Structure 1
Amino acid sequence: MKLSLDQYKRKLRGCWIGKNVGGTLGAPFECKRGVLDVSYYTHDLSLGVLPNDDLDLQLVWLNAVEKYGKAVNSRILGEYWLSYITPNWAEYGAGKNNMRMGIVPPLSGYVNNKFRDSNGAYIRSEIWACLAPGHPDIAVKYAFEDAVVDHSHEGVYAEVFFAAIQSAAFVESDTFTLIEIGLSYLPEDCGAAKAVRMVMECYRSGLNWQEARIRLLTELPGSFGIIGMAPEQLTDEVPVGDMGWDAPSNVGITIIGWLYGEGDFGKSICIANNCGEDTDCTAATVGAIMGIIGETESIPPEWLEPIGDEIKTLCISLTDQGVRIPKTVTELTDRILKVTPIFLGSEYCDYVHSERGYTIETKEYQDLYNHPVRVNCWVYREKSDLLNQSPFMVHYDFQIFSVYLDYLSDPYVSEAQPRRFRLILDNQLFMQQWLNVKWHLPEGWTLSPGQNISVPLEQYHCNVGYTELFFELTPLALKEPRYDLIIEITSAGRPTKGLVPIVLLNVPVAAGETISAAEDRSKAPAAHMIRSII
């Protein structure tokens, strides 16, 4: 299938207008629990569009893509977080705090982060869908890289789910088909998938949206809606869930708005908003999806005219040089149009020397779903493999080989307490290699099976293409609060040298009690722990 430049541009603009409209509608009600009765904007319309972090962060990501193209990854996005994004609340602050200590993604999204299952990632899905229209597998890859900076598990699943839907929406318009495409990328038993299936069941069984909301928030309770309310104000009949476990219920609310709105843009965003909780996120996500499907023309003038084309920011540092922030949806759309051919590459983006510009080759309908891709007789890969990875596994790419360092647990060490690491070396060439693995350790520390070893690396043509190693590290004479280690990896006869940093924090034994238990989280075979390379 092909997506013309004209179609692509209309859907891009519809996405961002829908995002802006939904976010502006929902912003005044964020962090409120209860059934609302809102049918239109409630803020002073002379103010125009309201600023919203849901859109802000994606403007920063656009700058990263404009500089790094398809090479953008979680560590690059993490540096942009620290440089240009100002809030330190909840998961944003936890992720930034970890990165300041040298803890890199995906560890930064997991360690000491009580809000890792919350909503701050799925509000950022649109940029990846817009850069990979009709290619949900690509959108999912980058949504994962984005989400793990400050989330793990449900927070990551939520962004992956909506990135897949929004990317597919550039070429598919059926609501239930799009939902099933999104679900195909999620673990069957995750909270987000359960929430979505529950809402679809409620809709198909004839329950109204208020009844669907009650069932959703009862069976998958969150706590986002109580943040902005005093205890005596909590009169709603739904339970209060664990602090920070908010993505499943708010994903479900987004689907409530989409389904029960039944194709009516205003009705859909109002229902999402009227369910309460993270209202600016839920209404904005519904608005973006419907804007992609129906383009700007599907957004009624009464919703569009009061906010116009303007973008207002809330969370971006504009005092330090380094990012150019679009001031209008038109500018945002045009900049994405310019960078997409570089991001997708010539395989999918066909530039035609004419006034009509380029076309985008998209997936066929059946290929929009997640499905295994055959590498050889023994190895198959699919994008959902990303979500099966431990949050302690860090990926580094060194052109001719990739390295997956699995900490197996939180990045803590204690005096004389052994801890294990798993190292997966993945061949990026279709020829064998010999790799030398050398650890640079603090004085007095010991490592088994040794600090300097050589290992063969098979190729994928007739083998599995990777080598898996386990190391046991024993730290001794701990005097510093933080230790920086290096693994140096070289390929015999080649100039490439891969340097893999390890940051370990010195904590008492009691704080490190999770170390051995967390090693059990990485039970999947190594082939299923390796990320697909696009």
Structure 2
Amino acid sequence: MSAAGAVAAGRPRGTAGGLRLTWVQPEDLLPHELAASGDEGRDVTALADRWAAAGGDVTAPVSGASPVPAPPALRALAVDLLDAADALPGPDSADEPDDLDAVRATWPSAWDLPTTVERDRLHGAWLGRAAGCLLGKPVEKIPRHGIREILTATGRWPLRDWFTARGLPADVAARWPWNRRSAPTSLAENIAGMPEDDDLNFPLLALRVLETHGPGFTSAHVAQAWLDWLPAGRVFTAERVAYRNLLLGLTPPDTARRHNPFREWIGAQIRADVYGWTNPGRPDRAAEAAWRDAAVSHVRAGAYGAIWVAAMAAAAPVAGDVDAVLDAGESVLPPGSRFTAAVREARALGAAGDDWESIVDTLYARHGHLHWVHVRNNAALVAAALAYGRGDLERSICAVVAGGWDTDSNGATVGAVTGALTGAARLPGRWVAPLRNRLASSIAGFDGIGFDELADRTLALAHGSLA
């Protein structure tokens, strides 16, 4: 069809060649905004009715873009309704504060954790993060029952090894296609080092921010680092919206608040580990740093996920067991928030039983209404897997990846905690050797870097934080 024909058919000019940007088109953002506002307790009934009456789909696209772009008039209405949603009064709950001072007011005055960290533990954290991420990459976006069907068909259920396409029946492969960006480099038969992933790109960027600006960096420093070093095509959901907002001239924290229905999704949670590793034994310092990073793109629970992971990452390289790590993470959370309740309940479930499938069934009953990239459901799954895995890397990452939702991000977080608890020298070779001490990245200066060098640079920053 010609460009004129595309316009006549109601498609905006420029889409005829198949380009369909995810996570930023107004008609795709609006259904997510209706869900996000509803979850926050705001009444968006009138907005939803206007959208549906105009022919808009109130069902949010699972993968970030609806199949067909909206006609210009419908897209314009989506923009108006997003503006209207932004103008609605925010959630009024003291249990879920949106500023660091209010969150910090509930923190303990001290933590009973060592502050001396060994390089081997930091090395283990990097390796564990990569291994867990790599395990989850090929099945990202595949639902839990699809993951089980793949594993059963290839004789690998329950999950205890890398995914493989060998022996996978054609009908199962067609029903549950691998993540097309990941499968070529993340299946057992193809692994040759750690391929690029946003779950590793963001820790690399945090390392660069700390090396450049020191522990007193600001949210503006983080935003500038994105623009200087992070390709726009390598960010998704809230980060892609915030990146767009930066290009529109907004600054943090406004970048997290304009037309951003993903503000309480998982993105900031995957960016926080380095802030913990460089503040060993100090969950407070780690959480404060993670909050400043999160403020570029997230609010409330989106930021709680970041400080929770940062606090656990501060404890994991110096703690003696996973309970101390989970205690540290919970200590920085607003005690009355839904996020806190979710991770505490999930931790109790994971610690109390050995029937992982039953545990995950309960989590899905509680949180299955949330999008697979939301922060609460994924944090609950992480907490349960850490408690269930009892510090063992293989048991923990296999459990969390088999649980579905955001498989690579959750695998990375769980792998980082258990890798730090274990230390590089004691990690199982079959999970570490395929990484080949090599990490691919589109961030300049990091492509092909070794995990040993990353451990050295992280240790230098950790020593500096204690000086």
TM-score normalised by the chain length of structure 2: 0.64
Query: Partners in 2 of 1:46 and 1:281 — Cα distance?
Result: 18
Query: Partners in 1 of 2:348 and 2:421 — Cα distance?
Result: 23
Query: Partners in 1 of 2:279 and 2:226 — Cα distance?
Result: 22
Query: Partners in 2 of 1:89 and 1:150 — Cα distance?
Result: 11
Q: Measured at CA, do residues 46 and 276 of structure 1 come closer, stay the same or move farther in structure 2, by a change above 3 Å?
A: closer
Q: Measured at CA, do residues 283 and 21 of structure 1 come closer, stay the same or move farther in structure 2, by a change above 3 Å?
A: same
Q: Measured at CA, do residues 338 and 145 of structure 1 come closer, stay the same or move farther in structure 2, by a change above 3 Å?
A: same
Query: Partners in 2 of 1:212 and 1:337 — Cα distance?
Result: 37
Q: CA deviation at 1:167?
A: 0.3
- Other-structure match for 1:308: 436
Q: Could you list the runs of 5+ residues in structure 2 that have no partner in the other structure?
A: 1-112, 149-156, 164-186
User: Which one is further off, 121-130 or 195-204?
Assistant: 195-204
- Other-structure match for 1:28: 138
For residues 137-196 of structure 1, what are the alpha-carbon distances to aligned partners after superposition, in whole Å with 9 as ceiling and x for unaligned? Answer: 111111001111111111110110011111022322232232122112111232321221
**Looking at both structures, which has the greater relative contact order when contacts are Cα pairs under 8 Å and sequence separation is at least 6?**
2
Verify: 1:66 aligned to 2:211, yes or no: yes
Q: CA deviation at 1:207?
A: 6.7
Q: CA deviation at 1:296?
A: 0.9
Q: CA deviation at 1:325?
A: 5.5
- Other-structure match for 1:338: 460
TM-score normalised by the chain length of structure 1: 0.56
- Other-structure match for 1:81: 226
Runs (4 or more) in structure 1 with deviation over 6 Å come to none
- Other-structure match for 1:297: 425
Q: CA deviation at 1:208?
A: 2.2
Query: Which of 249, 261, 264 lines up with 1:114 in the alignment?
Result: 261
- Mapping 1:210-249, distance limit 5 Å: 210-225=357-372, 246-249=374-377
Verify: 1:142 aligned to 2:289, yes or no: yes
Q: CA deviation at 1:287?
A: 0.8
- Other-structure match for 2:298: 151
Secondary structure at 1:305 match in 2: helix
Q: Measured at CA, do residues 324 and 48 of structure 1 come closer, stay the same or move farther in structure 2, by a change above 3 Å?
A: closer
Query: Which of 2, 6, 9 lines up with 2:119 in the alignment?
Result: 9
Counterpart residue type for residue 121 of structure 2: K
Q: CA deviation at 1:113?
A: 0.7
Counterpart residue type for residue 144 of structure 1: W
Q: Measured at CA, do residues 96 and 334 of structure 1 come closer, stay the same or move farther in structure 2, by a change above 3 Å?
A: same
- Other-structure match for 1:104: 251
For residues 90-110 of structure 1, what are the alpha-carbon distances to aligned partners after superposition, in whole Å with 9 as ceiling and x for unaligned? Answer: 111111112222222122122
The answer to whether the Cα contact below 8 Å between 2:397 and 2:414 also exists between their aligned partners in 1 is yes
Q: CA deviation at 1:297?
A: 2.5
- Other-structure match for 1:18: 128
Q: Measured at CA, do residues 317 and 203 of structure 1 come closer, stay the same or move farther in structure 2, by a change above 3 Å?
A: closer
Verify: 1:275 aligned to 2:403, yes or no: yes
- Mapping 1:502-517, distance limit 5 Å: none
Query: Partners in 2 of 1:46 and 1:185 — Cα distance?
Result: 37
Q: Measured at CA, do residues 46 and 200 of structure 1 come closer, stay the same or move farther in structure 2, by a change above 3 Å?
A: closer
Q: CA deviation at 1:340?
A: 3.5
- Other-structure match for 1:40: 161
Query: Partners in 2 of 1:114 and 1:154 — Cα distance?
Result: 13
Q: CA deviation at 1:22?
A: 0.5
For residues 54-102 of structure 1, what are the alpha-carbon distances to aligned partners after superposition, in whole Å with 9 as ceiling and x for unaligned? Answer: 0111212212221211231111100111222123531111111122222
Q: Measured at CA, do residues 121 and 69 of structure 1 come closer, stay the same or move farther in structure 2, by a change above 3 Å?
A: same
Query: Partners in 2 of 1:67 and 1:300 — Cα distance?
Result: 34
Q: CA deviation at 1:324?
A: 5.3
RMSD (Å) for aligned C-alpha atoms: 2.1
- Other-structure match for 2:384: 256
Q: Measured at CA, do residues 268 and 205 of structure 1 come closer, stay the same or move farther in structure 2, by a change above 3 Å?
A: closer
Counterpart residue type for residue 126 of structure 2: W
Q: Measured at CA, do residues 216 and 62 of structure 1 come closer, stay the same or move farther in structure 2, by a change above 3 Å?
A: same
For residues 386-436 of structure 1, what are the alpha-carbon distances to aligned partners after superposition, in whole Å with 9 as ceiling and x for unaligned? Answer: xxxxxxxxxxxxxxxxxxxxxxxxxxxxxxxxxxxxxxxxxxxxxxxxxxx
Secondary structure at 1:70 match in 2: coil
Query: Partners in 1 of 2:298 and 2:449 — Cα distance?
Result: 28
Aligned pair count reads 318
Secondary structure at 2:212 match in 1: helix
- Mapping 1:384-399, distance limit 5 Å: none
Secondary structure at 2:323 match in 1: helix
Secondary structure at 1:281 match in 2: helix
- Other-structure match for 1:430: none
Q: Which structure: greater strand fraction?
A: 1
The answer to whether the Cα contact below 8 Å between 2:391 and 2:422 also exists between their aligned partners in 1 is no
The answer to whether the Cα contact below 8 Å between 2:367 and 2:377 also exists between their aligned partners in 1 is yes
Q: Which structure has the larger Rg?
A: 1
Percentage identity across aligned positions?
A: 27
User: Which one is further off, 142-151 or 251-260?
Assistant: 251-260
